[in-house]
Structure 1
Amino acid sequence: MRVLVSGGGIGGPALALALRRAGIDVRTFEAHPGPAAGLGSHLGLAPNGLAVLHALGAGEDVIAHSAFPSDTIEFTNGRGRVLGRLRDGSAEHGDRLRTRTITRGRLQTVLAEAAARAGVPVAYGRRLVSHTDHGDHVTVSFADGGTARGDVLIGADGIHSPVRRTMDPAAPGPAYTGLLNMGGSLPAHLLPATPAGTTRMVFGRRAFLGYQTGEETALWFVNLPHPDVGPDTPAPAGGWQRYVLDRFSGDAPYIAAALAHADPAAFTPTGIHDIASLPRWSRGRVGLLGDAAHAMAPSSGQGASQALEDALVLASCLRDIDDPAQALATYEHLRRDRVERVVALGRRQGSPKLAGNAVSAFLRDLALPLVFRAVARTDPHREVFSHRIDPDRPVRPAGVVR
């Protein structure tokens, strides 16, 4: 069996590693010219995602290249009043599985290098434009005029997946959550230091800041309510950086003072979208993985980890089930309920960022301490973080082939 994987971000190289571990031939293609090692945006890798990376032999490299552990969140309002603190419980899983903050570009690079060492290099600069399922094989066409042939095609090509659009043109598109996202890095001394292992989340009156400081560098992101943007959306008067600084007027002065020193390119906005549910993750010999199947808001803290889980489960299904369509249907059957619960969790956790005005911010600041105390008692992370996948466990066919 030969599996074609479209997408060289996080899920694609992870799937390549899992497939190679399962003894399956795999070819991976990526539209961009490289793994974008300089991406300033960052993400959290939770214990369940780190467990997958260790199973794939990439866990120690990822930990070595992560910025810092991050197992506690401190919430404040825009004036600096602490609204609550939550531990995510990941420290209980040991240092190897303690939640880590890492830049997206660094994670992509580590995974691409691990795949190359395993004999599955990512072919960059190959943008998939269409595919055809012939019943007994799949062919893909690239923008450069080239083609490739395989037994299975997996779209690990992101929230705006070309594979998904071709596979199911009637599938619902991503839904905008109402928030823009921007982020990057700063010298650590420009922001008030965060306690060890702690990310600080600041609910400003009109925008939201998250950051964590290390010895030399601070990683930060901003979310703010705004209509969705596209590549042709004009920047506000004065540019996006000035717009963000204005959104934090009336909040603690250190926020705007620090962000004024950031690289203006870090303020390129991206709309935060999610996909609550797709009618199908596969059709015949073509399937979807990660954001292509179930994009979730960053507030979930699980986007990368769920894509990694997908990779391990999908590889096992393709290893143990001879019929590709049945293997893909079984993968969806095993994964759908879990990821859709996590998508819903991300939406709920992101909703307080949508205050948008002084009155709603005031009411939010009154309510959030009660919310955080309730969350601390229920510990919603426990079920998500404790999930483990045994890649050696045989998989039996399940689900309905469509």
Structure 2
Amino acid sequence: MTTTTAMVIGGGIAGPVAAMALRRAGVEAVVYEAYSGTADGVGGGLSIAPNGLDALEVIGAREAVERIGTPIEGMVMQSWTGKRLGEFGSPAHLPAMQFVWRDELYRALYDEAVRQGITVEHGKRLVDATDTGDGVRVSFADGTTARADILIGADGIRSTVRGLLDPAAPRPRYAGLLGFGARTSSSGLPGTGGRMHMVFGKRAFFGYQIEDDSSGGWFANLPRREPMTRAEAVSAGADEWLRVLRDAFADDRTPATRLIELTDPAGLVITGALEDIPTVPVWSRGRMVLIGDAAHPTSPSSGQGASLAIESAVELARCLRDLPHDQAFAAYERARRSRVERIIALAARTNSDKAAGPVARVLRDLLMPTAMRLAKPEKFTWQFEHHIEWTSPAAVPA
């Protein structure tokens, strides 16, 4: 049976992309967002890798994202002493990754989806979903219901749809780090030449990029044994966190303390605990399926979270274009699972280095220069070169 209608639960990054891709595949999709308004001004900085840009090209949204992005020509790794350990970047034959602020990425994708005719309904918090055999019927907290041929869960790391598919689904895993970040309009620092500097600090991890006009942005990952929700972290107050961050980077020979001192407390982005799920066992059941962080949540340390979500949304639409929903879901999962779980595992190892304790930190600082000298950038090319063959028919899974 051909899929003609879909409900997409979640209006963040993956949701609007999925709806646009589905429309190109001949499936009409409505996006249902739990919050009553748009997410303007919410979230810190992130990167869109070349593979994410490639997937956005399929749905005609690449230019919209590049307009609000800042190219990252390379990533310079440093120790807390200021020593340069090495540099990585996108392969020369691929476009530069883009640094974007999440609220601007959200708005760019939201506006593009609306421009393409996608309906987004707000204030629709999912309560329940029932597979009726010939479709899915959902109930929302406001008392309304909806129905379509399939249901797509794009509702993030704490996905309601995931819990409906599999009540025993694993919970998010804490990475031992809290996240913070801010923009700076006038740092007084020289530009970093389009390069993001990543510093394994003495007590915490710091990243920053400065443009030629001295504007830019920074982020920090602060080790903490016990996790905190975003609400708990926010309640501690921006002034207190800025003080904690200044202390954490006081011994580092980097611009970290200067950038933190220049930060207006009102502009501090507090993201809370960094989390992932190594594997989500159940991606689909019946007429319901997961994408993005609902299916494969990776911590921000991967630099691939948004790009993987975009890839999965487009790949799912391609499979639904060519196959009945049950075969499409299986083909989609087969195409995606090994790739995303490999990247989740790599990010987890990076988190371990960021959250190293006193002894592990000494070993890290001793071994990392040698490891960086021996590392070959081409080993990471597989992440960036991924291409979805949109024009090729999706294969029936074995």
Q: Which category of TM-score, normalised to the shorter sequence, fits these structures?
A: over 0.9
Instruction: Give, as a single letter, the amino acid of the residue that structure 1 aligns with 2:39.
Output: A
* 1:216 positional shift: 4.8
Whether 1:398 aligns to 2:397 is yes
Take 1:197 and 1:259, find their aligned partners in 2: how far apart are those partners? 20
- Which residue of structure 2 aligns with residue 207 of structure 1? 204
Q: Against the structure 1 CA distance between its residues 113 and 57, is the aligned structure 2 distance closer, same or farther, given a 3 Å change threshold?
A: same
Pick from 57, 60, 77 the counterpart of residue 60 of structure 2: 57
Take 1:123 and 1:237, find their aligned partners in 2: how far apart are those partners? 33
Question: Where do 1:351-370 residues align within 5 Å?
Answer: 351-357=352-358, 359-370=359-370
* 1:267 positional shift: 4.8
Take 2:289 and 2:217, find their aligned partners in 1: how far apart are those partners? 34
Q: Against the structure 1 CA distance between its residues 161 and 263, is the aligned structure 2 distance closer, same or farther, given a 3 Å change threshold?
A: farther
Whether 1:184 aligns to 2:186 is no
Pick from 85, 102, 105 the counterpart of residue 103 of structure 2: 105
Q: Deviations over 1:76-101 (max 9, x none)?
A: 22232222222332x422xxx32111
Q: Against the structure 1 CA distance between its residues 99 and 3, is the aligned structure 2 distance closer, same or farther, given a 3 Å change threshold?
A: same
Q: TM-score, normalised by structure 1?
A: 0.92
SS of residue matched to 2:301: helix
Question: Where do 1:218-237 residues align within 5 Å?
Answer: 218-226=216-224, 227-230=226-229, 231-232=231-232, 235=236
SS of residue matched to 2:137: strand
* 1:15 positional shift: 0.5
Instruction: Give, as a single letter, the amino acid of the residue that structure 2 aligns with 1:71.
Output: E
User: Aligned residues: percent identity?
Assistant: 43
Q: Against the structure 1 CA distance between its residues 193 and 201, is the aligned structure 2 distance closer, same or farther, given a 3 Å change threshold?
A: farther
- Which residue of structure 2 aligns with residue 273 of structure 1? 275
Whether 1:263 aligns to 2:264 is yes
Unaligned runs of 5+ in 2: none
* 1:162 positional shift: 0.8
Are the aligned partners of 1:126 and 1:144 in contact in 2 as well (CA < 8 Å)? yes
SS of residue matched to 1:92: coil
Q: Against the structure 1 CA distance between its residues 35 and 236, is the aligned structure 2 distance closer, same or farther, given a 3 Å change threshold?
A: closer
* 1:379 positional shift: 2.2
Question: Where do 1:42-121 residues align within 5 Å?
Answer: 42-66=45-69, 68-89=70-91, 91-93=92-94, 97-121=95-119
Q: Against the structure 1 CA distance between its residues 235 and 169, is the aligned structure 2 distance closer, same or farther, given a 3 Å change threshold?
A: same
Q: Deviations over 1:57-87 (max 9, x none)?
A: 1111211111x11131112222322222223
Question: Which deviates more from structure 2 when the two are superposed, residues 15-24 or residues 252-261?
Answer: 252-261
Whether 1:19 aligns to 2:16 is no
* 1:105 positional shift: 1.1
Question: Where do 1:363-378 residues align within 5 Å?
Answer: 363-375=363-375, 377=376
SS of residue matched to 1:125: coil
Q: Deviations over 1:331-361 (max 9, x none)?
A: 111211111111112112232111243x543
Q: Against the structure 1 CA distance between its residues 384 and 232, is the aligned structure 2 distance closer, same or farther, given a 3 Å change threshold?
A: closer
- Which residue of structure 1 aligns with residue 346 of structure 2? 345
Are the aligned partners of 1:326 and 1:397 in contact in 2 as well (CA < 8 Å)? yes
SS of residue matched to 1:249: coil
Give the length in aligned residue pairs: 390
Question: Which deviates more from structure 2 when the two are superposed, residues 193-202 or residues 160-169?
Answer: 193-202
Instruction: Give, as a single letter, the amino acid of the residue that structure 1 aligns with 2:386.
Output: H
Question: Where do 1:294-373 residues align within 5 Å?
Answer: 294-322=296-324, 324-357=325-358, 359-373=359-373
Are the aligned partners of 1:40 and 1:184 in contact in 2 as well (CA < 8 Å)? no
* 1:142 positional shift: 1.4
* 1:269 positional shift: 4.2
Take 2:240 and 2:12, find their aligned partners in 1: how far apart are those partners? 29
- Which residue of structure 2 aligns with residue 157 of structure 1? 155
Q: Deviations over 1:92-144 (max 9, x none)?
A: 22xxx321111111111111111111110322222212211122211111122
Instruction: Give, as a single letter, the amino acid of the residue that structure 2 aligns with 1:303.
Output: G
SS of residue matched to 2:318: helix
SS of residue matched to 2:280: coil
Question: Where do 1:138-153 residues align within 5 Å?
Answer: 138-153=136-151
Unaligned runs of 5+ in 1: none
Question: Where do 1:4-43 residues align within 5 Å?
Answer: 4-43=7-46
Take 1:193 and 1:350, find their aligned partners in 2: how far apart are those partners? 29
SS of residue matched to 1:5: strand
Whether 1:386 aligns to 2:385 is yes
Instruction: Give, as a single letter, the amino acid of the residue that structure 2 aligns with 1:206.
Output: R
SS of residue matched to 1:32: coil
Take 1:56 and 1:238, find their aligned partners in 2: how far apart are those partners? 42
Q: Against the structure 1 CA distance between its residues 76 and 164, is the aligned structure 2 distance closer, same or farther, given a 3 Å change threshold?
A: same
* 1:232 positional shift: 4.2
